[in-house]
Amino acid sequence: INLILVFVISGFWHGANWTFIVWGALHGFYYLFAVIKNSYFRPRLPAAGLRGILHNGFNVIATFSLITFAWIFFRSPSIETAFAIIGKIASISFSDRLLTPWNTAELAFAVALILFMLAKEYFFNSINTKSTFTSVMLFTLLVLSIFIFGVFNQNQFIYFQF
């Protein structure tokens, strides 16, 4: 109960709207479920091998999906809007605009980004970050990524709007 209450309060701290309360409560339930799951399943699962890899992969996908779901409430202006968005997501079919060229480009970009992140995770420990050249190259890549993918013409940072 205390864990859920802390997250509900943190939701209220983000804004005085029911959407933020729901966002906080969802995080509290997610965390409570993780604590219960880890206390039950952690001793039974091997740390290495295919089962461990599948378990970790499932955890990553589940965490991303649940947190993304919670963000619907955080960014919605009202509970009704959030449920309307969830209803739209649940009613998506392949006959919708999922296969248009624009969405194909978005899908290709998403897949490329996922492959890049997987490669980064795999090779991260082998990169010599103490080398000046490597550090300069990584910093340059970071700055270029910010300029290429950054959004500079949008509204103010969300916390400046209060």
Query: Which of these is catalytic: 4, 6, 10, 14?
Result: 14
Structure tokens at 107: 């899908």
From CA 162, how far away is CA 149, in angstroms rounded? Answer: 26
Question: What phi-psi label fits residue 46: left (phi over 0), alpha (psi between -120 and 50 degrees) or beta?
Answer: beta
14 belongs to the catalytic site? yes
What does residue 95 show for φ and ψ, rounded to 5 degrees?
-80, -10
Catalytic residue positions, numbered: 14
